[in-house]
């Protein structure tokens, strides 16, 4: 039995395993009140009576916040957003208000706003809910942001595969223009800003903000070196530019509605507001769920919200923040000290779902894509699958990523086709280490972290491939 191998190699008793997967969750469920979803961004999205037309949005109070914001000074909006503490939802979790402050306003060049709607991180499907079901929310958030940063022109860079989404947005923008929410003299104010949709052509790297900017300029999306090309100083057309994620921009509207201070009370300090978590993999009810930051743990998400694992299965691993995040092993213990000094000692289920929790556990909440893997998953196959993705998506500009990622892919592919060698595990680790921290953009880390974590945490599975090249599970391709 697989669990047995696990336990034997990791010195964890079977009794303990039993407790983790059954008793504990049962006790959990009866003894503890299950946290409820708090839908702010997705409040109306799944309401059967709600459509993505402007009429629906207006009936729910849409564009009121834009109206209110236009009466404020731009800096006042920036101040509220700063106070709200809202962190970027695109992956890196950088505070949006701070990012806006970095804008180079002295250059005299036009300022641009770009909404990053390239949503391509494997395991992530939140932005599309907004785009397809509530596009006006995004437009309102963007127009408030554009006014706050005094953008001359705003763009939505949308991934190629969202054909329908691009159409919906096009229509929504023309509706908004008709009503004066965007374009010339917005709501009869002095402020004008047009909103342009640009469709990608199907490349993950277009989600990286400087790659995105190059692509928007009509070039190959080769990410830029930083320094000197920080978007807030030398962004689109070498002008100061703000790039924010769809969900981040939607939050701006709600910050204006509640006020920065009130918004900051949602969630936890440094982890404010709600987040949309996208749960995929082997759970009974995969899907997207919006919760206040830190309102629940990873265990509660899996067992209470997503209905747990399929009968007879046990948890093997979780990737908490999209495929780029380091994998967490089901039987790991996570101990240490948070920034504020509080000590923690967590099992995988205890990790709070916010920004800092997965980070403290040595991974990250990234794009909010939680990928759950039960004991039927061949971790080496999963690794091979992830490597195939990154090898295909590397832009090829810088040496370590270009060569390293394809090399890793070749190794994992070979391992999975029955030609594993014992030294492959160490080789994979070494290659990943030679990539991490040495590339132009964070794709290098995004590609190295999975390998580093899979190989170091599931080393025996890799070694076993060399010993038993024809493992029956290697037939399965589960992610």
Per DSSP, 292 falls in state: E
Alpha-carbon distance of 224 to 222, in angstroms, equals 6
Name residues contacting other proteins, limited to 413-432 (CB under 8 A). Answer: 414, 427, 430
Nearer to other proteins, 82 or 113 (CB): 82
Name residues contacting ligand SF4, limited to 222-251 (CB under 6 A). Answer: 223
Nearer to other proteins, 128 or 159 (CB): 159
**Interaction between residue 448 and ligand SF4 (CB under 6 A):** no
Annotate each residue in 149-188 with x if it binds other proteins (CB under 8 A) or - if it does not, as one string: ----------------------------------------
Site residues (vs ligand FMN, CB under 6 A)? 88-92, 94, 96, 116, 118-121, 205, 207-209, 243-245, 248, 441-443, 446
**Interaction between residue 314 and ligand SF4 (CB under 6 A):** no
Considering only CA atoms, give the Rg of the chain: 23
- Which range in 186-194, 297-305, 390-398, 462-470 contacts ligand SF4 by CB under 6 A? 390-398
Nearer to ligand SF4, 151 or 205 (CB): 205
Name residues contacting other proteins, limited to 270-299 (CB under 8 A). Answer: none
CA-CA-CA-CA dihedral for 208, 214, 220, 221, to nearest 10: 0
Name residues contacting ligand SF4, limited to 401-440 (CB under 6 A). Answer: 401-402, 439-440
Nearer to other proteins, 185 or 430 (CB): 430
Per DSSP, 92 falls in state: S
Alpha-carbon distance of 361 to 336, in angstroms, equals 9
User: Which of ligand FMN, other proteins, ligand SF4, none lies near 406, with the C-beta cut-off 5 to 8 A by kind?
Assistant: other proteins
CB 293 within 8 A of CB 267: yes
User: How buried is 1 (Cβ within 10 angstroms: 0-12 exposed, 13-18 middle, 19+ buried)?
Assistant: exposed
Q: Rounded to whole angstroms, what are the CA distances from 109 to 156, 176, 234, 238?
A: 20, 27, 10, 9
User: How buried is 364 (Cβ within 10 angstroms: 0-12 exposed, 13-18 middle, 19+ buried)?
Assistant: buried
Shortest distance, position 225 Cβ to other proteins, whole Å: 4
Q: Return the half-sphere exposure (C-beta side, CA atoms, 13 A cut-off) of residue 205.
A: 28
Q: What is the DSSP string of 399-413?
A: HHHHHHHHHHHHHHH
Nearer to other proteins, 213 or 283 (CB): 213
Strands 194-199 and 153-158: parallel
Positions in the binding site for ligand SF4 (CB under 6 A)? 205, 223, 394-398, 401-402, 439-441, 443-444
Positions in the binding site for other proteins (CB under 8 A)? 203, 220, 222, 225, 227-228, 391-400, 402-407, 410-411, 414, 427, 430, 434, 437-440
């Amino acid at each position: 039995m697989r669990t047995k191998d696990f336990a034997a190699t990791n010195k964890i008793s079977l009794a303990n395993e039993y407790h983790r997967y059954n008793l504990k969750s049962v006790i959990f469920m009866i003894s503890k009140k299950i946290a409820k979803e708090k839908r702010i961004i997705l409040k109306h999205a799944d309401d059967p009576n709600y459509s993505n037309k402007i009429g629906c949005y207006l009936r729910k109070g849409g564009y009121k916040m834009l109206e209110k914001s236009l009466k404020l000074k731009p800096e006042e909006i920036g101040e509220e957003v700063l106070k709200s503490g809202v962190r970027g939802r695109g992956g890196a979790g950088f505070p949006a208000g701070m990012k806006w402050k970095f804008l180079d306003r002295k250059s005299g060049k036009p300022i641009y706003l770009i909404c990053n709607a390239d949503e391509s991180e494997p395991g992530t499907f939140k932005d599309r809910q907004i785009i397809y079901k509530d596009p006006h929310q995004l437009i309102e958030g963007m127009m408030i942001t554009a006014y706050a940063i005094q953008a001359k022109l705003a763009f939505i860079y949308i991934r190629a595969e969202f054909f329908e989404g691009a159409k919906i947005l096009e229509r929504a923008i023309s509706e908004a223009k008709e009503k004066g929410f965007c374009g010339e003299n917005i709501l009869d104010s002095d402020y004008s800003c047009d909103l342009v949709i640009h469709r990608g052509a199907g490349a993950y790297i277009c989600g990286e903000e400087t790659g995105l900017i190059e692509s928007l300029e009509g070039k190959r999306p080769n990410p830029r070196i930083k320094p000197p090309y920080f978007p807030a100083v030398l962004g689109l057309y070498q002008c100061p530019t703000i790039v924010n994620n769809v969900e981040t921009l939607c939050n701006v509207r709600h910050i204006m509605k509640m006020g920065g201070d009130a918004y900051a009370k949602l969630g936890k300090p440094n982890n404010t507001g709600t987040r949309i978590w996208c749960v995929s993999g082997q759970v009974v009810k995969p899907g997207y769920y919006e919760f206040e930051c830190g309102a629940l743990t990873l265990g509660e998400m899996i067992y209470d919200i997503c209905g747990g694992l399929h009968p007879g299965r046990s948890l093997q691993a979780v990737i908490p923040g999209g495929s780029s995040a380091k994998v967490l092993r089901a039987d790991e213990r996570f101990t240490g000290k948070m920034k504020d000094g509080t000590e923690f000692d967590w099992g995988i289920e205890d990790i709070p779902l916010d920004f800092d929790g997965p980070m403290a556990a040595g991974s990250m909440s990234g794009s909010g894509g939680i990928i759950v893997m039960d004991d039927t998953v061949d971790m080496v196959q999963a690794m091979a699958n992830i490597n195939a993705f990154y090898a295909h998506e590397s832009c090829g500009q810088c040496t370590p990523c270009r060569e390293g990622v394809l090399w890793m892919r070749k190794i994992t592919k070979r391992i999975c086709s029955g030609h594993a060698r014992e030294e492959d595990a160490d080789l994979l680790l070494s290659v990943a280490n030679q990539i991490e921290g040495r590339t132009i953009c964070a794709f290098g880390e995004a590609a190295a972290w999975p390998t580093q974590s899979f190989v170091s945490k599931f080393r025996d599975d890799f070694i076993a491939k060399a010993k038993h090249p024809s493992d029956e599970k290697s037939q399965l391709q589960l992610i």
